[in-house]
């Protein structure tokens, strides 16, 4: 049986990805800060870890190795947002954004690659965003992290490709999850933004989490066996309207 690890698995997109992998027959290792301790007889491993802590990430992959022996795939979804212009942003908030949304991607690669090399599918997908291409004056840290994830994906694909591993990224547009709800709740015109979300996309709506999961599943599949070092834009035409 194939095995996959997913970070940020408790969120809207992460849980949709987990369902897609489970339906495809994967054993799962689900990593997030808020997972409870799993029962001893749980077939899947839902690990509550701090993804910015090297020791915790290292230990998590040791536990995953003991549970499943090897990984065939992993998806880095974990990320946060912080709304503040540069002049008003506090240094700890900036550092937390970088550590959580970029540092965790580095740490999972550092400690997870040896486990992935033992697998069969051997593919990684990182969650980027159209925000890595279109800046926002109120979210400079967020757009920076997503641009960094894109660049890291390209660099890692060259290093990992020599070891027989494929690395790609998916860049969604707006997606209808609790993450988006929290972002919009911080905006004084958040309700209007949601109402007019269709105007931002050619397809006249936000993405469903399952649609992002489907794109990731494609990049993990044999149908994408010659796809490496690329970013799949899944934005309903968001960038085309910019």
What is the chain's Cα-based Rg?
17
Tell me which of 142, 152, 174, 175 is the catalytic residue.
142
Helix crossing, 54-68 with 104-117: angle to 10°? 30
* Sheet (strand 123-127) strand order: 45-48, 27-32, 3-7, 73-76, 123-127, 166-172, 231-234
What secondary structure does DSSP assign to 156-213, as a single string?
HHHHHHTTT-EEEEEEE--B-SHHHHHHHHTSTTHHHHHHTGGGGSTTSSPBPHHHHH
Strand, helix or coil for residue 88: helix
CA gap 144, 135 in Å, rounded: 8
In this structure, how many other beta carbons lie within 10 angstroms of the beta carbon of residue 124? 28
CA gap 116, 93 in Å, rounded: 32
Does the annotation mark 142 as catalytic?
yes
CA gap 218, 127 in Å, rounded: 14
Task: Give the residue numbers annotated as catalytic, written as ranges.
Answer: 142
């Amino acid at each position: 049986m194939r095995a996959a690890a997913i970070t940020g698995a408790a969120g809207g997109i992460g849980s949709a990805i987990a369902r897609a992998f489970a339906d495809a027959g994967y054993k799962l290792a689900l990593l997030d800060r808020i997972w409870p301790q799993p029962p001893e007889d749980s077939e899947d491993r839902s690990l509550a870890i701090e993804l910015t802590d090297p020791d915790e990430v290292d230990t998590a992959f040791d536990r995953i190795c003991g549970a499943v022996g090897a990984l065939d795939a992993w998806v880095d979804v974990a990320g946060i947002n912080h709304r503040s212009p540069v002049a008003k942003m506090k240094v700890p908030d900036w550092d937390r954004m970088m550590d959580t949304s970029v540092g965790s991607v580095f740490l999972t690669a550092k400690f997870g690659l040896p486990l992935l090399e033992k697998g069969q599918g051997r593919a990684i997908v990182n969650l980027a965003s159209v925000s890595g291409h279109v800046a926002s004056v109120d979210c400079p840290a967020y757009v920076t992290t997503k641009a960094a994830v894109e660049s890291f994906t390209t660099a890692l694909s060259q290093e990992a490709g020599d070891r027989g591993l494929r690395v790609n990224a998916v860049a969604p547009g707006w997606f209808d999850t609790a993450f988006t709800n929290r972002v919009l709740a911080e905006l004084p015109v958040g309700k209007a933004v949601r109402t007019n979300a269709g105007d931002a996309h050619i397809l006249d709506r936000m993405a469903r989490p399952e649609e992002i999961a489907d794109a990731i599943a494609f990049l993990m599949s044999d149908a994408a066996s010659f796809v490496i070092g690329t970013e799949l834009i899944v934005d309903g035409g968001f960038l085309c309207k910019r």
